[in-house]
Amino acid sequence: MLMLTMNDEKRRAAVLDGARVAEEIKREVASEVAAFRDKHGSVPCLVAVRVGHDPASAVYVRNKVRTSEMLGLRSEHHELPEETTTGELLAEIARLNARDDVDGILVQLPLPQNVAAARVLEAIDPAKDVDGFHPLNVGRLTLGRSGFAPCTPAGIIELLKRSGIGIRGQHACIVGRSHIVGRPLAQLLLQRDATVTICHSRTQELASLTRQADILIAAVGHVGLIRAEHVKPGASVIDVGMNKITDVETAREFFGENSTPRVEAIRKRGFTLVGDVHPAEVEKVAGHLTPVPGGVGPLTVAMLMRNTLTAAQQRRGVS
């Protein structure tokens, strides 16, 4: 286990402010949307499709639609009933693919179990696949060709770049191998000349690998998995996890002297959010650390707006 000195106990990692970077990106997108409107007489259009009544999905879609409208994009929210079949959803996707005024299509996951999610995602026109999940866009990313990268990995790259954290020649370790974050992020980091290690639930001696990383990304969905012993002193730690804790004592242990707002949140609404990183421990070792919430989440939405604008520009031959 990593031993902390008295000086280590007093130090704190610098905050990697994802919310600030997301606002920068959104301001840039809003400016480009206005220029697009002046040139073409229309604005990019994003359509969000949601099936069923999952409360978290409803919040995510509402945030995406609200943000697009704030930036001057046009948005539509198509809400379909829980009993929607795969065939019915595919027909809806076909209609959106055929609409020339629609530039971006996202299908909010998860879908009900009776819907074949892979078939639905593959049915989206790759030119409108602003989530970056279509196999054609995945293949393009793997080959280093132009296409849409998934929004969370793309946002992490922007966070590192705009925070002055170099990638070239650095050792990056990703804990998590999902198709949404871990694998596409590995490709983006490789393209920028990082040396990349991917760890997962079957990895042996996890800490021995993560301690080598200059850039450590936790994206596995395990509350507080990454602790001080997993982190190289001075490393930049990106916490992609978004988990709920409901126990007051756990909140106090996770957040230490900063736990009061978290305890109050649990008492008020029954939970507080925490990532895959143990914040009270890791902030004493890392050089930089993203907060949860306010770290990676805002970047995901900002990059969705960027992808929608890019889709509109490419479909109209605008660089």
pLDDT of residue 7: 47
**203 vs 201: CA distance, rounded Å:** 6
214 catalytic residue (yes or no): no
Per-residue pLDDT tens, the chain, 319 aa: give them: 444 443 445 568 999 999 999 999 999 999 999 999 999 999 999 999 999 988 888 888 989 999 999 999 999 999 999 999 999 999 999 999 999 999 999 999 999 999 999 999 999 999 999 999 999 999 999 999 988 999 999 999 999 999 999 999 999 999 999 999 999 999 999 999 999 999 998 999 999 999 999 999 999 999 999 999 999 999 999 999 999 999 999 999 999 988 999 999 999 999 999 999 999 999 999 999 999 999 999 999 999 999 999 999 999 887 5
Could you give the CA distance from residue 115 to residue 125 in angstroms, rounded to a whole number? 19
The one catalytic residue in 131, 214, 239, 276 is 131
Instruction: Give dist(CA 240, CA 23) in Å, integer.
Output: 18
Q: How many C-beta atoms lie closer than 10 Å to residue 90's C-beta?
A: 16
Q: Which of 17, 26, 64, 284 is catalytic?
A: 64
Q: Within 10 A of 6 (CB to CB), how many other CB atoms are there? A: 6
- pLDDT at residue 11, as a whole number: 61
Q: What are the residue ranges of helices labelled H in the chain?
A: 6-10, 18-40, 55-70, 86-98, 117-123, 135-143, 151-162, 182-191, 206-210, 248-255, 260-269, 279-282, 297-315
Matching residue, tokens 């949404």: 180
pLDDT score, position 49: 96
Structure tokens at 75: 């948005």
What pLDDT is recorded for position 59? Answer: 86
Catalytic residue, chosen from 17, 26, 103, 108, is: 108
Could you give the domains of the chain? 41-125 (3.40.50.10860), 151-297 (3.40.50.720)
Q: Are 319 and 268 in contact (CB under 8 A)?
A: no
- Calculate the alpha carbon distances from 194 to 76, 144, 234, 238 in Å: 39, 14, 17, 15
CB 194 within 8 A of CB 163: no
Known catalytic residue at 10:
no
pTM of the prediction? 0.93
Q: Is 64 a catalytic residue?
A: yes
CA–CA dist 280, 266 (Å, integer):
18
